[in-house]
Amino acid sequence: MTVFLLPEELFFPHPDLADPDGLLAIGGDLSPERLILAYKFGIFPWYNHQPILWWSPPQRPLIFPRLFKMARSLYQTLKKDTYRVSFDRDFYAVIKGCATAPRRDSTGTWLLPEMIEAYTELHQLGYAHSVEVWFEDKIVGGLYGVSIGKAFFGESMFTLMKDASKVALACLVEHLIKNSFYFIDCQITNRHLLSLGAYEVPRRVFLVLLDEALKKEDLTEWQREPEPTSKTAKFLKEKLIPRRNYEANSF
């Protein structure tokens, strides 16, 4: 199957033309216009070195906000108010944290300087957003992603203290439920995401859901000051749908 070389003009081939692993195209740039177009097509960049590689995997892991799996231990952490959580207070600190935090499964990072610059620009334009987890006066975890319509595209997360990234995700889920988001696109499946409630859906289903989400108005109000998490625990306990009440084979 052909992998497309992108021209200078803004263009992506249809995601169905990706190879069996999901690689669709090579080249192009990380301009805001191209990145936004990519997300609207269900495509994302993922690479370690030049050239830029663009992907649309055949199976897509999605977290539907009300089907988020909140473990008892996470619920207890939220209830204790160990951390405080803010949105869009320090995007750069979060993306740098994602780029530099130690990871069990990797010795390097896919977040190259040009990607940090590109997503920081998307943040300045109101598309990329961060969740910061604070312990005392330090950021000890967080996540960032891209919001278009009622779709949130999760990019990366990091943690420096126990459960900090999970706390960030729980608070994001609360925010997305309150604002009627359809899903969090997790892009690449792994065991950790499945443990948090992600469902793998075929690309064709993902593209239908994405098309519906993009018909909705963008959410522009993201910023909030650091707040305790006990209210998040209470909200999620009331709003989350137990997985036993949901048909896992709906897709």
| Residue 159 sits in the same domain as residue 213 | yes
In angstroms, the CA 31 to CA 52 distance is: 12
Please give the model's pTM, rounded to 2 decimal places: 0.94
- What's residue 108's pLDDT? 44
In angstroms, the CA 26 to CA 50 distance is: 9
| Residue 123 sits in the same domain as residue 228 | yes
Token pair of 126, please?
A: 């109101």
Q: Is residue 52 part of a domain?
A: yes
Which contiguous run of DSSP H or E holds residue 138? strand 138-148
Mean pLDDT of the chain: 94
pLDDT tens by residue, 37-78: 999 999 999 998 779 999 999 999 999 999 999 999 999 999
Average pLDDT over residues 10-23: 96
pLDDT tens by residue, 182-236: 999 999 999 999 999 999 999 999 999 999 999 999 998 899 999 999 999 999 9
- What's residue 14's pLDDT? 97
- Type of residue numbered 148: I
In angstroms, the CA 28 to CA 19 distance is: 18
| Residue 40 sits in the same domain as residue 68 | no
Q: Are 98 and 115 in contact (CB under 8 A)?
A: no
* Residue 167 backbone dihedrals phi, psi, to 5 degrees: -60, -40
Q: Is residue 248 part of a domain?
A: no
Token pair of 212, please?
A: 């519906």
- What's residue 104's pLDDT? 54
Question: Coil, helix or strand for 209?
Answer: helix
pLDDT tens by residue, 74-131: 999 999 999 999 999 999 999 999 999 876 554 445 789 999 999 999 999 999 999 9
| Residue 116 sits in the same domain as residue 239 | yes
What CATH number is attached to the domain comprising 158?
A: 3.40.630.70
Res. 244: pLDDT tops 90: no
Local confidence band at 161 (pLDDT 50, 70, 90 cut-offs): very high
Determine the structural domain holding residue 16 and report its residue range: 4-56
Chain centre to alpha carbon of residue 114: 19
Q: Is residue 250 part of a domain?
A: no
- What's residue 224's pLDDT? 95
Token pair of 74, please?
A: 């996470």
| Residue 81 sits in the same domain as residue 28 | no
Q: How crowded is residue 223: how many other Cβ atoms within 10 Å of its Cβ?
A: 11
In angstroms, the CA 29 to CA 7 distance is: 10
Res. 30: pLDDT tops 60: yes
Q: Is residue 21 part of a domain?
A: yes
What CATH number is attached to the domain comprising 48?
A: 3.30.70.3550
